[in-house]
Amino acid sequence: MSERPHFAYVFQRFPSFTQTFCVREVLEQLRQGVRLALFSITDTRDEAIQHFPKELVDQVEFLPERDALVDQVKQWKREDKLPKEAVLTLRHWGDQPDKRRVYEAIYVGQRLQQLGVRHVHSHFAGLGARTCWWIRQFYGATFSFTAHANDIFCPEPGSVTLEQLMHDASRVVTVSDFTARYLENEFPQAAARVRRVYNGLDLAPIMNYQAAESVADGGPPLIFSVGRLIEKKGFADLIRACGILKKRGISFRCEIAGDGPLEDELNALRLSEGVEDEVRLVGPKSQDWIIPRLHQTAVFALPCVVEKDGGMDNLPTVIMEAMAASLPVVSTVLAGVPEMVIDGESGYLVDPHDYQKLAERIADVLADPKRGGEMGAAGCERAQALFAKEVTAVELRRSLVSGGLVGVEASWLFGRDGMLGAFCSQLALRGGRLFGQGCPKRQYKD
């Protein structure tokens, strides 16, 4: 790398098919001219090479496996290359379960010194962030992390607690106003360092998809949903709502794409609700399958709930995707969902587990396709304004720059993708409606 990186990312797994939002963020930062050092604690090359650009995978430095990692740290110790704090921690930390974070921090910290990098960022308040915390202790580098959902609602045990991460991080980014308020209330001493930056989405493939046919393809209108078959997605409530729709004589079909531990339970519920013909669990599907399906859908439904252990969705990516496809969305008043779906404007929101109201709102959309099209167009415009990766990449960079953690480049202010340029782009987006541009209304057949 010829020039010093602006900052580094430390990921638990990168690139990973299960965390594509991280990949989108990194690729967009690189596209906008940010120089990055990328570290992945877990080697994902066998997985990544099948799904991600080779030039991205080649830029990632994968940490050695455990034995090789320990050997490298011991060699640096013999050569007297380690900071005193690192040597003392290795000596006194014993066999703590999280001791590997110490070795990882030393490895990455040595590399950061070689690269001249002074700030590291991680996603999730978990393994990667704990490694960054140790880097700060040993090497004095500042660190930040992006908090998501269950990593703060149900934090995993570790030698470094969420409270310690919040206390010592120079910036805490989180993906919704809901979680920002949650962290500010739980950790008031860190409130001034919390910033909200939404996850970014590549909207173009969804918005630009040209459906072969109208959304009404000859069959009953489609209610569509996507997600793992787990409690917090609320699919049991969706199936119960479909049972109510059938009892009312409303014509529909419903597809749920995904797999998970509740598959047998949900199939049994289909039978008990009498909707085994109307509701299908279609299994896990790729984006190449999901995007066309979105454009054949009448209403997207994801009735999120709180799990028994307190876990919940925060800002479901699939709702962003549905909004980008100009779909009306029916969901619940939970976590960051109301920041995505404006009740009565871009869809409808009901209380978690209120499957009777859920059925009513889905029926409202199915009964008024014109209104559904207007809601979908409003949602698409909102997705462009808030969730486009071009926008969120700039917002993350602004958060780091404003905290004095990353030096600013002139192009970041004045370039097409700069902080001022992004603001002007949003003005242009909002003004596009005056000239007949922007998100089209969905065309439904009555």
pLDDT of 395 higher than 50: yes
pLDDT at 398: 94
C-beta neighbour count of 71 within 10 angstroms: 12
Banded pLDDT at 434 (limits 50, 70, 90): very low
pLDDT at 50: 62
pLDDT of 431 higher than 60: no
pLDDT of 238 higher than 70: yes
Q: Which domains does the chain have, with CATH numbers?
A: 7-196 (3.40.50.2000), 204-383 (3.40.50.2000), 389-435 (no CATH)
DSSP state of 149: S
Strands lying side by side in the sheet with 142-147: 60-62, 36-42, 7-13, 119-123, 142-147, 171-174, 194-196
| Tens digit of each residue's pLDDT (9 = 90 or more) over 170-192 | 999 999 999 999 999 999 999 99
Distance between CA 428 and CA 88 in Å, rounded? 56
Per the CB < 8 A criterion, the answer to whether 289 and 264 are in contact is no
User: What rounded mean pLDDT belongs to the chain?
Assistant: 91
Q: What would the DSSP string read from start to end of 17-83? A: GGGHHHHHHHHHHHHTT--EEEEEEE--HHHHTTTS-HHHHHHEEEPPPHHHHHHHHHHHHHTT-S-
pLDDT at 217: 58
Measure CA of the first residue to CA of the last residue in the chain; give whole Å.
59
| Tens digit of each residue's pLDDT (9 = 90 or more) over 70-103 | 999 999 999 999 999 999 999 987 667 789 999 9
Distance between CA 54 and CA 51 in Å, rounded? 9
Q: What would the DSSP string read from start to end of 77-92? A: HHTT-S-HHHHHHHHH
pLDDT at 442: 61
C-beta neighbour count of 427 within 10 angstroms: 9
> Within 13 Å, how many C-alpha atoms sit on residue 376's CB side?
29
Provide CB contacts within 8 A for 100, sequence distance 6+.
66, 69
pLDDT of 408 higher than 70: no
Per the CB < 8 A criterion, the answer to whether 185 and 343 are in contact is no
Helix, strand counts (H, E) of the chain: 21, 13
| Tens digit of each residue's pLDDT (9 = 90 or more) over 93-137 | 766 778 999 999 999 999 999 999 999 999 999 999 999 999 999
pLDDT of 446 higher than 70: no
pLDDT at 432: 44
